[in-house]
């Protein structure tokens, strides 16, 4: 069961994301649980795609997200705008 788990992070799991989401649901995680996929993290090409366990597979397919990527699952995803210091710093350097 996934009860009591606050955050799950998976590195290089894009190929298995549909299976991961299916398993999380089968273990009792709510379909509306927040999930983020961070593509090319800590680079100037970093892109963060967010959704829910039920919606993320369709979103990443539409957006053509690929490895290297990190998957973050849990309520911490809802803090992404407050914690987006890296992308803000990168933008400052690009426009300085």
Does residue 56 contact residue 35 with C-beta atoms inside 8 Å? yes
Q: How far apart are CA 85 and CA 58, in angstroms?
A: 27
Q: What is the DSSP string of 19-80?
A: HHHHHHHHTT--TT-EEEEEETTTSTT-EEEEEETTTHHHHHHHHT--SSEEEEEEGGGGGT
Residue 51 structural domain: 7-95
With respect to residue 1, please indicate whether it lies within any of the assigned structural domains: no
How many structural domains does the chain have?
1
Q: What is the pTM of this model?
A: 0.79
Residue 95 has a pLDDT of 44
With respect to residue 66, please indicate whether it lies within any of the assigned structural domains: yes
pLDDT of the chain, 96 residues: tens digit per residue: 555 668 999 999 999 999 999 999 999 999 999 999 999 988 888 899 999 999 999 999 999 999 999 999 998 898 866 666 555 455 445 444
With respect to residue 52, please indicate whether it lies within any of the assigned structural domains: yes
With respect to residue 22, please indicate whether it lies within any of the assigned structural domains: yes
With respect to residue 2, please indicate whether it lies within any of the assigned structural domains: no
With respect to residue 26, please indicate whether it lies within any of the assigned structural domains: yes
Domain containing 18 — which CATH number?
3.30.950.10
With respect to residue 91, please indicate whether it lies within any of the assigned structural domains: yes
With respect to residue 29, please indicate whether it lies within any of the assigned structural domains: yes
């Amino acid at each position: 069961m996934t009860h009591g788990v606050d955050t799950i992070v998976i590195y290089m799991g894009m190929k298995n994301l549909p299976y991961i989401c299916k398993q999380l649901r089968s273990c009792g995680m709510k379909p509306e649980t927040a999930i983020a996929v961070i593509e090319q993290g800590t680079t100037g090409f970093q892109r963060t795609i967010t959704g829910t366990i039920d919606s993320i597979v369709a979103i990443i397919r539409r957006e053509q997200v690929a490895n290297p990527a990190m998957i973050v699952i849990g309520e911490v995803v809802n803090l992404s705008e407050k914690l987006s210091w890296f992308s803000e710093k990168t933008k400052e350097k690009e426009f300085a």
